[in-house]
Amino acid sequence: MSVELNIDGLVGPTHNYAGLSFGNIASSGNKGAISNPKAAALQGLQKMRTLVNMGLPQAVMPPHARPLTYYLRGLGFNGTDSAVHESAWKANPALVANLMSASPMWTANAATVSPSIDTADGKVHLTAANLVAMPHRSIEAPQTERLLQAILPKAVIHPALPSNTVFGDEGAANHNRMSQSHGDKGLEIFVYGREALSDEPSTKFPGRQTLEASKAVGRLHGLDEAATLYLRQSAKAIDAGAFHNDVVCVTNGTVMFFHKDAFDDVAAMQNVVREKAKPLGFEPEFLMADIPLEDTIQSYLFNSQLLSLPNGKMGLILPKNVENTPSAKAFVDHCIAGNNPVSEAHYLDLKQSMQNGGGPACLRLRVPLTDEELKQVHSPMLMDEAKLQSLDEWVNKYYREALSRDDLGDPALMIECRTALDDLTQRLSLGSIYDFQMEGGAQ
């Protein structure tokens, strides 16, 4: 038997709206708004609880330490860590805003994952994403690698691809997998927005994922070429605000749930998926929405989690915005009423993350595992009700309810963040995993 483990990012104490992501309409539109880190983290935990209550395996990925003081030291700021934070803020608040981001919460961008059934050596492979397209995200990979290794000690974790825009890699947000069931060999579908080493017309918004990066990940994971596809996302979707493919498409099992403008030539895409699926023994089912692209971006209809349920059916975890967008809600209702595996929909309040362009699918990394491999996961990070309650209590103890841009320069925030993470590593039996812990604590 095999299952899908979802690893959700626990929202960090510095969650804020700095408007850092060009091409991400929610991030730009909410620049300067006051965030509520406590509400953001509790909303994320509630999503994890929903999956636990559905009987599905759920793990948590801890936040990263912020600000990243070693990075600021490399830029010439020195003294104690507090002095580094303070002098960097005086010199350049916009720079510090980048180094305070809680963006590692969107674990769909942490790595690309291939299950052991798909890889040449029969091991689970992950490649940490370099996230080079956005400065605030390009600092995530080293800590992400460490945390992934802690959660999945037996998996092969490849370091991020070279930090070069030719190899722009945004992880699982641009990767889909289709198969008869989680345990069967699957078709791995990489979706890119740009072919870096060619003279092609550029899009208005950046195509963050390159074909060069996707192919490198496919090689590193030892994937079978016959069961791998590289598809291009349409420029139309990118320019409408679909900065990752998971804003316009999600797959699970035999089902692809997507917007008609996600790919330029839908009929060609469907044909090639059908052809590649044949030797893998399954018939793909396409649930395609023909609704305004703006409604898709605004509601995040396709940034939903499409889950295989213990009863053999599939369920959708959607943001409340879908419920409030008539065309999107009508499409969900149509799918549930139709003759296909999708049988239920759950609408969750994820407003704090959504205002930064992060829906249910952005907040989770999917890892298909055999039952044996699931037993090797670091068990304190596997959630149940008691552990979720401990994390609720942890959030309530340490998190602020309001954070403005100016608060990002507050040296007390760095200390609060470190104190909270120290406690968290104990609750999750992680030992010393952050740089500040290895250097001997907050200064």
Ligand X SMILES: N=C(N)NCCC[C@H](NC(=O)CCC(=O)O)C(=O)O
Of 170, 188, 212, 373, the catalytic one is 170
**Residue 362 a catalytic site member:** yes
Burial 183-219 (b: 16+ CB within 10 A, else e): bbebbbbbbbbbebeeeeeebebbbbbbbbbbebbbe
Q: Which residues, at least 6 apart from 278, have a Cβ–Cβ distance to it below 8 Å?
A: none
Closer residue to ligand X, CB minimum distance, 239 or 285: 239
- Decide: 442 and 414 in contact? Cβ < 8 Å: yes
Closer residue to ligand X, CB minimum distance, 102 or 420: 102
Closer residue to ligand X, CB minimum distance, 171 or 341: 171
23 labelled ligand-binding = yes
338 labelled ligand-binding = no
In the complex, what is the shortest distance from the CB of residue 417 to ligand X, in angstroms, rounded to a whole number?
16
In this structure, what token pair is assigned to residue 13? 């104490």
Q: Which residues bind ligand X (CB under 6 A)?
A: 16-21, 24, 27, 101, 103, 106, 108-109, 134, 137, 173, 243-244, 246-247, 356-358, 362
Element (H, E) at 37: helix 37-53
CA distance 52 to 264: 37
**Residue 125 a catalytic site member:** no
In the complex, what is the shortest distance from the CB of residue 148 to ligand X, in angstroms, rounded to a whole number?
16
Of 244, 249, 373, 417, the catalytic one is 244
Of 249, 335, 362, 417, the catalytic one is 362
Q: Which residues, at least 6 apart from 383, have a Cβ–Cβ distance to it below 8 Å?
A: 48, 49, 52, 58, 59, 60
Residue reference for tokens 């089902």: 255
In the complex, what is the shortest distance from the CB of residue 261 to ligand X, in angstroms, rounded to a whole number?
17
Q: Count each helix (H run) and each strand (E run) in the chain, helices first.
A: 17, 15
346 labelled ligand-binding = no
429 labelled ligand-binding = no
Closer residue to ligand X, CB minimum distance, 69 or 356: 356
Across the beta sheet with 305-308, the strand order is 305-308, 314-319, 342-348
36 labelled ligand-binding = no
In the complex, what is the shortest distance from the CB of residue 23 to ligand X, in angstroms, rounded to a whole number?
8
**Residue 393 a catalytic site member:** no
Query: What's the helix, strand, coil split of the chain in %, to 5?
Result: 40, 20, 40
Which residues are annotated as catalytic? 170, 244, 362
Annotated binding site, which residues?
18-27, 109, 136-137, 208, 246, 356
| Residue list, annotated binding site for substrate | 18-27, 109, 136-137, 208, 246, 356
